[in-house]
Structure 1
């Protein structure tokens, strides 16, 4: 389900850059090994009796077409054509799925639906293959009193590209503003005035600029100020130029899954080496994030000629645990469907020296057995909280025969690990999340590439979803520090992607990101994506390249990963003035 807001001139603007906000969950026990993807059809938003929002919609299955090949085609669910799917939301941003409800006799095919709270009951209006009907319910759990009617769901055309006929719902000013704040790109709207007083003869130390954004959030940015003569009393206007961090895209040659860590005063950077066949682990060292792009590659591990570690050296991540540095990565033998998670420990002092690293050790469960006997493990990352160390990784079941291969879902798992031997798990693995939304299952039923981002007491885990092509997206899980992180109920799942095909003006397919602090303490996103200009010239060109950008924390404490340079700093404010009073 997509949302759009109506402006004063009666035109509409799509929220979330035109990407959906609400998605149906897949039926994982239905159909293939990875289940059946579900989509929403003809959603209708209405006010509930308590003032919250309800959504009623039809649910369809995405099934292979007649030739059994992609793209999939949607169809009514066999045996459930007489059902509607219900949701509840307090703000049209976060939703709770209430479930499928049967509202018409078996064999009835519903094509459209609307709902309203009327005379102390919910009234559904149905357009079906047998005519138009109405039914009612006091609480949305069951419906009765089915009767024919001349009424039908009344939909409107809103004039947006590719938009289906829509419904309209009124919102309050407060609800409207929150939708704008949370589901529209943020942009810089001003800078706080700067005015200081200094004694005669003392050096004027001017502060960073405080940038303000349309949602009320702020961001501090360094400023290079002109010198001011404080030898004489007076009022002086000083010019400053904001020192915005910008990184090229592409930043380097073909690399995927970029990440860096600040270790002993320097930045150490790694990524999957697509450019040279994913056959080596390479590390760069730099004094600043800006210097990573031009830093030298140091090969610290090379693929074997055959057998174990002979291919698919994927997603290396550096993690510091109890003052020891480790690399977590996946390796194949050599094919992608053989990759497994491994760990190497820095046993010397120089991370760029291959001799200072231990041999790779395969990750094991608490019973000292392999993590997955019937598939692959990959993209292992580390989460440290409340004295515990956890691993989070992707795991996928694969059924392979001599003639065929069927893949299950790539799921996220979490387990506690031994901080002295982080390849060894010390708790049972817990399923953290399946790929259930259609944006997580576009071209492949995959979630992978988890990485941790902390902000105050909040723990965020971003993850990549779908196939590594233009549909690749970024999702977010959120939990509170100090809670039971092995309990899936401790985690809140954002139902729409934080980054998607339409998020950035020059890139698509962004995913498998990481985060690192810069020298000012700001969170920096490291991510790979496909250049939009490459895709436009050749839609089969799925080469991925890294780039970096600053994470912005919005007024609701959420990380915004889509801050283009122009959104972060309006060019009008690139040069500012400050007032200095010398007394």
Structure 2
């Protein structure tokens, strides 16, 4: 099966997908519909992830700050440590219009993250104690960086995007800088949201994609970028697209594409990993609808070095 003919969806009922390629293997982690555990799949091909056996590496406790709504895990390898970042809440209670999520980290120092021992490193502390989620990490300019979404009580809306350098994989080294907040109509449909950031380097630019609006058919992707040699901690150095870069395609019946990440196909092509639904008739809160499926597609770069994600392809 060629890289342009992956099954769509690739993996059913896995939202907030994250794929890491390391040493000729692909590792997959995502939110499960029960929001109660962290599981990893491994395969030698992207297609192989579809039928790979999930290995549960952590389950939520019965009580405490990590006991409910385990969301949006990511798997990273930082300074020879495997790290899982995820968000969790102490209960399902909504306070001041938001869930009570904070960000947490697990570390595994063994070679194999599927069979190794995972240690709880606790909450990733930020200067504001507020709703926070969707952490990712990346290396740039010889430093390790942490990028996430968080509510600032003095800014209207649900969440903004923040960046800080890491002291170690679960501790911030610098005060955060806000890179983006919901400002356009397409970022504020249903809810004012910037979340789910993902990082990719191409040419002389560093890009951050992110997701915006409510998690129904309004969900879509935005884009930030910066010159690769510029200081990423200076917000003024970042540019922001005034339009979404990947969004619902009504003819293809692909609704609310987003919460993406990036990987590389076996043939070297850049791959967009994302979730989307194939219907809009959701009963109740979209959060509890399990059918945000993991999907993947290749994408290209235009003559200006900008990503062109195209449109969400129809199911096959």
CA distance in 1, matches of 2:38, 2:109: 17
The 8 Å contact of residues 249 and 311 in structure 2, kept in 1 or not, is answered as no
* Among candidates 449, 452, 470, match of residue 217 of structure 2: 470
CA distance in 2, matches of 1:309, 1:345: 15
The 8 Å contact of residues 523 and 551 in structure 1, kept in 2 or not, is answered as yes
State the match for 1:44 in structure 2.
none
CA distance in 2, matches of 1:262, 1:244: 15
Deviation digits for residues 86-143 of structure 1 (CA, Å, limit 9, x no counterpart): xxxxxxxxxxxxxxxxxxxxxxxxxxxxxxxxxxxxxxxxxxxxxxxxxxxxxxxxxx
1:284-323 mapped onto 2 (5 Å cutoff): 284-323=41-80
SS in 2 for 1:338: coil
SS in 2 for 1:291: helix
Deviation digits for residues 441-479 of structure 1 (CA, Å, limit 9, x no counterpart): 000011100000111121110000001111001000011
Query: In the superposition, relative to structure 1, how do residues 471 and 486 fare at CA in structure 2: closer, same or farther (>3 Å)?
Result: same
1:469-508 mapped onto 2 (5 Å cutoff): 469-502=216-249, 505-508=252-255
* Among candidates 280, 285, 302, match of residue 554 of structure 1: 302
CA distance in 2, matches of 1:246, 1:297: 24
* Among candidates 367, 377, 382, match of residue 132 of structure 2: 377
Query: In the superposition, relative to structure 1, how do residues 500 and 389 fare at CA in structure 2: closer, same or farther (>3 Å)?
Result: same
State the match for 2:95 in structure 1.
none
Give the alignment's TM-score, normalised by structure 1: 0.50
Report how far residue 252 of structure 1 moved: 2.4
Report how far residue 265 of structure 1 moved: 2.3
* Among candidates 331, 334, 341, match of residue 91 of structure 2: 334
CA distance in 1, matches of 2:88, 2:30: 14
SS in 2 for 1:292: helix
The 8 Å contact of residues 503 and 562 in structure 1, kept in 2 or not, is answered as no
1:147-546 mapped onto 2 (5 Å cutoff): 243-274=2-33, 277-335=34-92, 337-353=99-115, 355-365=116-126, 371-373=127-129, 375-397=130-152, 408-418=157-167, 421-502=168-249, 505-531=252-278, 534-535=279-280, 538-540=281-283, 543-546=291-294
CA distance in 2, matches of 1:530, 1:487: 36
Deviation digits for residues 306-340 of structure 1 (CA, Å, limit 9, x no counterpart): 22211111111112222332111111113271111
CA distance in 1, matches of 2:197, 2:273: 13
CA distance in 1, matches of 2:153, 2:57: 31
SS in 1 for 2:211: strand
SS in 1 for 2:150: strand
Deviation digits for residues 257-282 of structure 1 (CA, Å, limit 9, x no counterpart): 101111232111000112xx110011
Q: RMSD in angstroms over aligned alpha carbons? A: 2.2
How many residue pairs were aligned?
304
Give the alignment's TM-score, normalised by structure 2: 0.90
Query: In the superposition, relative to structure 1, how do residues 501 and 565 fare at CA in structure 2: closer, same or farther (>3 Å)?
Result: closer
Deviation digits for residues 48-85 of structure 1 (CA, Å, limit 9, x no counterpart): xxxxxxxxxxxxxxxxxxxxxxxxxxxxxxxxxxxxxx
Report how far residue 539 of structure 1 moved: 4.8
The structure with higher relative contact order (CA 8 Å, sep 6+) is 2
Q: Which blocks of at least 5 consecutive residues in structure 2 are unaligned?
A: 93-97
State the match for 1:55 in structure 2.
none
CA distance in 1, matches of 2:308, 2:32: 27
Q: Which blocks of at least 5 consecutive residues in structure 1 are unaligned?
A: 1-241, 366-370, 400-405, 567-583
CA distance in 2, matches of 1:308, 1:407: 25
CA distance in 2, matches of 1:321, 1:502: 36
Query: In the superposition, relative to structure 1, how do residues 359 and 293 fare at CA in structure 2: closer, same or farther (>3 Å)?
Result: same
CA distance in 2, matches of 1:262, 1:510: 22
Report how far residue 285 of structure 1 moved: 0.6
Query: In the superposition, relative to structure 1, how do residues 565 and 440 fare at CA in structure 2: closer, same or farther (>3 Å)?
Result: closer
The 8 Å contact of residues 257 and 312 in structure 2, kept in 1 or not, is answered as no
Report how far residue 288 of structure 1 moved: 0.7
The 8 Å contact of residues 409 and 434 in structure 1, kept in 2 or not, is answered as no
